[in-house]
Structure 1
Amino acid sequence: MSKQSDKFNQGRLRSSNITVVISIALVLFLLGLFGLIVINAQSYADYIKEQLKLEAFFNDEYDPREQDKELARQQDYIDSLNVKHSFIKKTEYISKEKASQIAKNELGIDDNAIFEANIFPASVQITLQPEFVEPAKVDSIKKLIQADPIISEVVNDDELMTTVYNNIDKIRFWLMILAAIFLVIVMILINNSIRLRIYAKRFSIKTMQLVGARRRFIIQPFLLQSAVLGLLGAVLAIIALGGLWYYFANIVSLPWWNEDYYWLILILIVTGVFIALLSTAIATWRYLRLRTDQLY
């Protein structure tokens, strides 16, 4: 009879541990899914910012005999931009011929007789680092570039840039708010799962205390078990999340790996283990403080 009772208790304990691991894995999976959305929203925001380019027009050289020298001077200037300024991500030289072709494409014109060839000045398109794409910084960069004698004018779509910047900032703010709320929900769900597990062992906890075991001695095994369960739940969540993201990234042609994913993995592991430990310590300590008759 005793053996059957032990087997029953072991089976119930195993089932309880599996339930806790699955519960932790599910809530961490949802947290990780939200983390992927936040990370890729930032990447998409950076991509949009990179489309808001500056265009610096060179002073036009009308003397045909000086065209080669002017081209070399322009190229030297572009090379110096990439070396001197950290706010520049990349540059692209737009020759007169290419500028004319772009104008024809935008106007839907195929006939060269509509306007003279190469009437547009050469320019350099400047893609800024995403962190510099904000109205105040862009204005300072425009003044800095236009101060060079080789540049006649620096233009960009100020209105579009301001609109995009403000909207991206709002979206990022609300994503952070939702992430914080979701993290609180995750903590509550994991805490409830751990408390149910400790509740099932409340009589064992009290029995150990009644026979003279110290509180630290009682709590330590529960903390160790909960840390292992939290870690297992986090690993399962990461594996499931990685498989889902790999499949989705291949469908939509996105890079499946990002350096920020290291932080996401670390956050999931730390969250799973930390909340499991904290919930176990609080729940175990609570039952240690109760009287025997209060356990019922």
Structure 2
Amino acid sequence: MSKTNDKFEKGRLRSSNITVVISISLVLFLLGVFGLIVINAQSYAEHLKRELKIEAYFNDVDDPKIKDKELSMQKEYIDSLKIKYDFIESTRYISKEEASKIAKQDLGIDDVELFEANIFPPSVQITLNPKKINSVEQIDSINTKLAEHPLIDKVKSDKQAMVKIYNSINTITFWLMIFAIIFLVIVIVLINNSIRLKIYAKRFSIKTMQLVGARRRFIMKPFLLEGAFLGFLAAVIAITGLGILWYFLATKIGLLLWNPDFGMLIGALIALGVLIALFSTLFAAWRYLKLKTDQLY
């Protein structure tokens, strides 16, 4: 009879552990999908920021004494930009000849005579570091700094496009954060309920250990270790599922298989799975330790 009861208890315990792992895995998987959306939205926002170029046009040098040094002076200025300003990611020098070719393409004109005098000034096209720039006001400040140099005639940037993009990025980021907080609360509640059901199945074992004189720390330790392991196992299963999903999507759509931020997401999912399982186990077990024997039924 006792063997039958032991088998029944072990089967129920095994079923409870499987339920907890599956519940946590599903919740972490959904949270991971949300994380992938956030990461890729951020990557796309950075891509849009890189497309917003600033172009600084050089002055024409009239002094014949330094005319032959004009090109070297411009190149020295361009080389100094990335050293002086950390918000500049890359620079590209556009000569008068190249500027004329670009103008022909933009205007759709193929008349050589209109461009033979190279009427367009040389310039430097600047790509900003998206991680350093978070507002249009910063770009205005950068334009002012660049325009103060004696070699620069004027600085241009598409401010209207910048305003629209930054407003869109701020709106998307705000709502993503709101949904992330709501979803995180739901995640914690679901995982906590799963753990509480598991501990509920062991409430009599907890009370029995307590009645024979076991300390609370001694009683709690195996539950916490088991909870941490189950949380870690669930996180590994969720991450494996996310990896398979992302590989399928990336190969179909043509996205990069690895993003540096994926490492942070993996670490966050593992930490979240273990921590929530630990705290849920702690609170659930502590509750049953405080109950009287007649309250267990």
TM-score category (smaller protein): over 0.9
Give secondary structure in 2 for the equivalent of 1:54: strand
- Structure 1 residues 243, 117: closer, same or farther in 2, change over 3 A? farther
8 Å CA contact 1:100, 1:117 repeated in 2: no
8 Å CA contact 2:100, 2:115 repeated in 1: no
In structure 2, the residue matched to 1:274 is 275
Q: Aligned equivalents of 2:135 and 2:46: distance in 1?
A: 12
In structure 1, the residue matched to 2:36 is 36
Q: Aligned equivalents of 2:184 and 2:272: distance in 1?
A: 9
Q: Aligned equivalents of 1:141 and 1:53: distance in 2?
A: 12
Q: Aligned equivalents of 2:201 and 2:77: distance in 1?
A: 74
Q: Tell me which amino acid in the other structure corresponds to 1:235.
A: V
Deviation at 1:62, TM superposition (A): 6.7
In structure 2, the residue matched to 1:87 is 87
Q: How many residues align?
A: 296
Q: Tell me which amino acid in the other structure corresponds to 2:42.
A: Q
Q: Aligned equivalents of 1:291 and 1:285: distance in 2?
A: 12
Q: Tell me which amino acid in the other structure corresponds to 2:55.
A: E
Q: Which moved more, 1:264-273 or 1:63-72?
A: 63-72
Q: Aligned equivalents of 2:89 and 2:182: distance in 1?
A: 35
- Structure 1 residues 133, 52: closer, same or farther in 2, change over 3 A? farther
Q: CA RMSD in A?
A: 2.0
- Structure 1 residues 276, 137: closer, same or farther in 2, change over 3 A? same
The CA deviation string for residues 196-254 of structure 1, in whole angstroms up to 9 with x for no partner, is 11111112212222222222222211111111101100111112112222232232232
Give secondary structure in 2 for the equivalent of 1:255: coil
Give TM-score scaled by structure 2 length.
0.93
Give TM-score scaled by structure 1 length.
0.93
In structure 2, the residue matched to 1:230 is 231
In structure 2, the residue matched to 1:243 is 244
In structure 2, the residue matched to 1:105 is 105
Q: Aligned equivalents of 1:227 and 1:172: distance in 2?
A: 32
Structure 1: which 5+ runs fail to align? none
8 Å CA contact 1:49, 1:133 repeated in 2: no
In structure 2, the residue matched to 1:200 is 201
8 Å CA contact 2:57, 2:152 repeated in 1: yes
Structure 2: which 5+ runs fail to align? none
Deviation at 1:67, TM superposition (A): 6.2
Deviation at 1:276, TM superposition (A): 0.8
Give secondary structure in 2 for the equivalent of 1:132: coil
Percentage identity across paired residues of the two chains: 64
Q: Aligned equivalents of 2:252 and 2:46: distance in 1?
A: 22
In structure 2, the residue matched to 1:150 is 151
Give secondary structure in 2 for the equivalent of 1:86: coil
Q: Aligned equivalents of 1:231 and 1:15: distance in 2?
A: 18
